Amino acid sequence: SPEVRKVFKEKGVKQITDEKHRLDFGYDFIPYLTQTGHPVYGYTLKGNWFDVGTPKNYLEAMKKLLHGGFSMLNDFGGKISKKQQIWVQGESHDSEQRRQEIIRKIKQGRIEIEGAVLIGRHCQIDDGARIVNSCIDNFTRIGKGATIENSAVLDRVIIGEKAEVRDSIIGRHATILSSGRKQTKIDSVSVIADDVTLEEGCSLTATSIYPHQRVRGEFQHQILMTN
């Protein structure tokens, strides 16, 4: 509202951001409103509510959304049949060709889709890939025999042959190198930030990687901020 915009310009708000280098609504902004006498109201709303502030909650909300848990958001365009919760998007000539190729592979059993899956525009999925309860964003390439389960894969990601991604989030422009000889595995709510490259044979369990890094090796329950 216009009133809230005015509050953001107050000196007290600027002081919070200068001191804490953040302005969290729950921890900072709402307490500021109550302490400075601004009216704050709460309302009881019907329907589902998800706090997607953590990777685990984000993935749970995504899965709920794909399975029709939100009545206002139940069609993403490109549904391949009435009986299946599978969407393959495509509007332009090129993306529609790629869409039809993916649908053919599904029908021929060359790729395996289970549960509810959303596949974006201009994606390439090689034979033997398996996707379960996941969202695959635009311009993503999934290699031969790769497995993606309960995961969010964002734009322009490359996932190599035989890679396994389970219960995790892969950021934009990430490259997951993998092969039949050196299989890469990502699981247990790992989060790969934008523009990260994982070398063949990487194994990540409950690990987060900050952007713009090239990583090799095995990591468990770690946060990788720099190489």
Burial 9-45 (b: 16+ CB within 10 A, else e): eeeebeebeeeeeeeeeeebeeebbeeeeeeeeeeee
Whether residue 223 contacts residue 207, with contact meaning beta carbons closer than 8 Å, is answered with yes
**Structural domains of the chain, with CATH:** 2-35 (no CATH), 86-224 (2.160.10.10)
**Mean pLDDT computed over 61-87:** 89
The answer, yes or no, to whether residue 1 has pLDDT greater than 70, is no
The string of pLDDT tens digits covering residues 29-70 is: 999 999 999 999 888 877 777 788 899 999 999 999 999 887
> What pTM, to 2 d.p., does this model score?
0.84
Give percent of the chain above pLDDT 90.
84
